[in-house]
Amino acid sequence: VRQKQPVHWAAYYRTIRRIPPGQVATYGAIAALAGQPRSSRHVAFALKALEYDERGVPWHRVVGAEGSRRARIAIKNPAGGAQQRMLLEGEGVEFDARGRIDLERFGWARARATRR
């Protein structure tokens, strides 16, 4: 169990907590909104740490980007992935036959950053 919580993680957790139920954001989007545009991998690291200490962060609303229009479950642990999908479906997020999410419909950061 990691005891240490690097400073940047707090910003990531703050941003993730702002994602409303029923919507998702990509790692890259979280990093960007937290002020670290190219540190998506650190968001992943911070989330992995939540495995040991949830702290009320809706980790399941953070998904891996697959292009700019779709996202997929990025978690490596199969059980965790299933858990994430279950939680998201419980909030109304839909997955296609390949287990991907349409960011046009459920992408939080995209919905507020893209205007057209």
Positions touching DNA (CB under 7 A) are 2, 4, 6-9, 26-28, 36-45, 47-48, 50-51, 59-60, 62, 64-68, 74-76, 80, 84
In the complex with DNA, the residue whose CB is nearer, 56 or 67, is 67
Measure the CA–CA gap between 67 and 28, rounded to whole angstroms: 11
Distance from C-alpha of 88 to C-alpha of 108, rounded to nearest angstrom? 13
Min CB(43)–DNA separation in Å: 7
- Which residue has 């040991």 as its token pair? 52
Q: Please tell me the distance from the alpha carbon of residue 74 to that of residue 8, in angstroms, as a whole number.
A: 21
Please state the closest distance from residue 84 (CB atom) to DNA, in A.
6
Q: Least CB distance from residue 78 to DNA, whole Å?
A: 11
